[in-house]
Structures are given as C-alpha cells and as structure tokens.
Structure 1
Amino acid sequence: MKLFLIALFIPLAAILSSCTESSASPSHAAEPAPENGAQFKEGKGISLTTLMMESIGLKTAEVSEEKIAPSFTVTVQSMQRGTEASGWLNEAQAARVLPGMEMELGTEKGSVLRIEKAPSVIHGDFEVTVQTATAIEAGSALNATFRFPAGDPVTAIPKAALLTTAEGTFVYAKNDEFYLRTPVKVGAASGEHVEITDGLYTGDEIVTAPVMSLWLAELQVLRGGKACTCGH
C-alpha cells in the first residue's frame, strides 16, 4: 500500500521521467494486487479497494442532460492602428458566426464586421474581422470571445471528468465493481460542463474526481510499477 501511494503521488517531473525508463509491455491479465489497492481486468477496467478509493477521494456522478451555452475564443490581431482586428476560424466555428453579431474583444464589447473564406488553409478555413469603438494599437493581439445562447438539453458531464491522453479523450465509466476507461467524443462546452456526442448515455455513472489519479493507478498495475503520462 505504501509503495503504491508513493508511486501515485510522486511529482509530475518524476512521472514524466519514468516514461523513458520503462519499455515493459502492459499485461492485460487480472492482477490480484490486494496490497497496492488496485487490480485490472481486460474488458472490465480497474477496481480499487475501499481503502484506496477513500485515500484518493474517488467521486462519481450520473451522466445528465444540461443546456449548453457554447462559446469559443480565438486570437485576433490588428495590422494597423484602428478599430479593426482579424483572426482565423475553423469551419465549425465559422458556421456559428454571422456579420453584425456581438462579441467580446478583450475587455471591450465588439461586433463581427465580416467573415470570408480563406484562399488557403495555412492559418484556418475562414478569416473573421471584428471591430470595436476603442482604437487598437498596430500589432496588438487580443482574445475575441464569441458566445451563443443555450439550445436544447444535451448529454453532458463535468469537464473535470475528462481524461485527455495521446490516445484520445476518455472518461472512467462504472462497470459493476470496475471503472472502465471509455473513449468519448466531446461537443460544445459551457461553464463547468461539456457536451458528450458519443460514448455515454444519460444515466451512466462516471468518475468525476480524481481522474488523473485513477489513470495513474491503472498504469501502475499494467506497467508493473512504472507509471507515466505519455499515453502509450
């Protein structure tokens, strides 16, 4: 138990350094490991003893439906002193933006002047030009935030429940007495919640905290004591 806790809470630098020290292949067989508080079973996930769940402060919640008021922020820059600045949007972002709509430019209110499809895709798919009543110095880079009203309720989870690795985005879903790392696709985000477009259903139970500790626990079992955050 002591050895597992030390490995689980070692500094991030030490965790990262362990990635280059181990070439051990993961073992997918169930690990009894009652002493370190965790075991893994292929197709089932990871399970923790009651003592281990209490020690890391494991919390779960049911997936619910929330009204998401999406928003996104991009960087815009003024080419000369004036009231205009331009930046780049991808296709999904551009589909939401219309000329004349209000937005936030740094701490000031602004509006969309125009949006044009880019002749190339080096920077982005669409160029958006925004304007504000206050003059912007030449070369200034500002955050342009676009906010949209909430739509119908959608399947959503707390942002803290997401685990992002080199392999993709996951959540830990309750699977009997196990917690299964499950791939998900995310949509719009608003406040503390994010939309889940694939991978979960309303009513599923997921881990909301501490997701990183649970992942390190899984790696600890699979990699024979070598935990790392590389995602491979």
Structure 2
Amino acid sequence: MKLLLSILCLPIAAALSSCSQSNASPSHTVAPENGAQFKEGKGVSLTTLMMESIGLQTAEVQEEKIAPSFTVNLQAIQRGSEASGWLTEAQAQQVKPGMVVEIGSTQGNVLRIAKAPYLTLGDYEVTVQTAAPAEAGAALTATFRFPASDAVTAIPKAALLTTAEGTFVYAKNDEFYLRTPVKVGSANGEHVEITDGLYTGDEIVTTPVMSLWLAELQILRGGKACNCGH
C-alpha cells in the first residue's frame, strides 16, 4: 500500500506545476522509488508488487455491436407536456421528429428540432412531448437510443484516459504500457467505438488507467526528480 500511495497521493496540479526539469532524461529508463519506471517510446513499466497493489487489469480489444445512446437535459416549458433542451450538430443529425425517447421511467416523442439563430448552450434546440405534464421549469433528462450497428472495434469506457492533450489508452508493449492516442466514435453505457489507434486483438489496460497516468506524470514532470521543493 505504501507504493500505491506514492502514486495516488500525488496531486495532478503539482505534477503539472512549473517546476524545474527532471534531472533524468526521458530518453533513458527512469525508475524512481515508487515501483514504476518509464522508457521513452516504450511506456510505463510496473513491478509485480505495484501491479497487485493497484489492481491492474488488462483485456484484448474486441469487436462489439454498439447501440449508441446519449442523454440530454431538458426543461419543461409552459405549453403543457412539452420540454426543450439543446443538441450538438452531431446529435441533431441523428434525431428525427417522432422519435421515441426515454424520460425517466416514462417515454416521450420528439416534436421538432430547430437550429439556434444565436449562440446558446448547443447548436440545435429539441422539443419533446412528454407522456405526462410537468411543472413549468422542471428539469428532466431524456435518453436517445439508436439501433446497434455492425460489429466495430470497441473497448470498455473505463479504459479511456481523457486529458487536455487528447484521448488515450494504455496499450501493452512487451513489459511496458504505452499511452496511445485514439479516436472514438459511437458509445453506449459500457463500450465505446475506437475508429483509429487500436486493432482487434491489441491488449490494453482496462483499470486503473488514472494510476498509470499519475505514475507517468510523477516520473517525467514531478516526483523525486523535481527540484522545486514539492
């Protein structure tokens, strides 16, 4: 547990602070005293004890039939059983008038979609007719579901790491785990489509990707090599 805390207790803000450059060059293997090491072009490597401590799990990338879905926040308006919310352009392209949506434990139907003439929270306003009237101003959540497509390359959502630099996964690279950029497509409650960056059969870390990222940050940008007194 002491090894685990050395990673998980490192604040991200400190790892990203403007401290001095690490004394160790990332072009060589860097191995601080936290059970992890990093090698440029290879990725992060963990000791067996560290992997057990953080509960590291991996899985092969497979093909899945994904039934896409997304949720939208709605607000009941004064015209009886109607509520409206905002869609992005990509979402609006999928939604059609008459489409059935889930609103809590009930259902509703899409009445209309209109492009916003001014800058708003979204590009398109969607108006939904609810199964039962709601008090004006009440907050509702609508879930839009779509049929499953053909099987696509997909991974568990938990395997994704989203940072300011982009979206990544940790792919197994011999005894290392390499942070690999990916592009995502459709998603459902459990899986997300990968349109670029991985192939079926690749092995990736499914949990805990945040611990690997913090280990990488600690080695390269902070940790014991930092000279700024943190």
- Normalised to the residue count of structure 2, the TM-score between the two structures is 0.88
Matches within 5 A, 1:22-171: 23-25=19-21, 27-33=25-31, 35-80=33-78, 82-171=80-169
SS in 1 for 2:133: strand
CA 88–175 in structure 1, closer or farther in 2 if over 3 Å, else same: same
Aligned residue pairs total: 223
Partner amino acid, structure 2, of 1:25: Q
User: Structure 1: which 5+ residue stretches go unaligned?
Assistant: 228-232
Structure-2 separation of matches of 1:34 and 1:86? 53
CA contact 1:74–1:145 (8 Å) conserved in 2: yes
Gaps of 5+ in 2: 226-230
In the TM superposition, what is the alpha-carbon distance from 1:183 to its structure 2 partner? 1.0
- 1:35-77 CA-to-partner distances (Å, cap 9, x unmatched) read 5322111111111122222222211111100000111111111
> Per the alignment, do residues 81 and 44 of structure 1 end up closer, same or farther by CA in structure 2, a change over 3 Å counting?
same
Q: What RMSD in Å do the two structures reach over aligned CA positions?
A: 2.2
Q: CA deviation at 1:32?
A: 4.9
Partner Cα separation in structure 2 for residue 169 and residue 77 of structure 1: 31
Q: CA–CA distance in 2 between the matches of 1:16 and 1:37?
A: 19
Kindly indicate whether the alpha-carbon contact (under 8 Å) linking 2:15 and 2:222 is maintained by their aligned counterparts in 1: no
Moved over 4 A (4+): 19-22
Cα shift at 1:121: 3.7
Q: Please, which moves more after superposition, 49-58 or 18-27?
A: 18-27
1:5 aligned onto 2:4: yes
Single out whichever of 91-100 and 215-224 deviates more from structure 2.
Answer: 215-224
State, as a whole percentage, how many aligned pairs show the same letter: 74
1:34 deviates by: 7.4
Report the TM-score when normalising by structure 1: 0.87
- The answer as to whether partners of 2:172 and 2:204 remain within 8 angstroms in 1 is yes
CA contact (8 A) 2:44 2:176 kept: yes
Q: Which amino acid aligns with 2:20?
A: A
> Which residue does the alignment assign to 2:228?
none
C-alpha spacing 1:219/1:113, structure 2 compared with 1 (3 Å): same
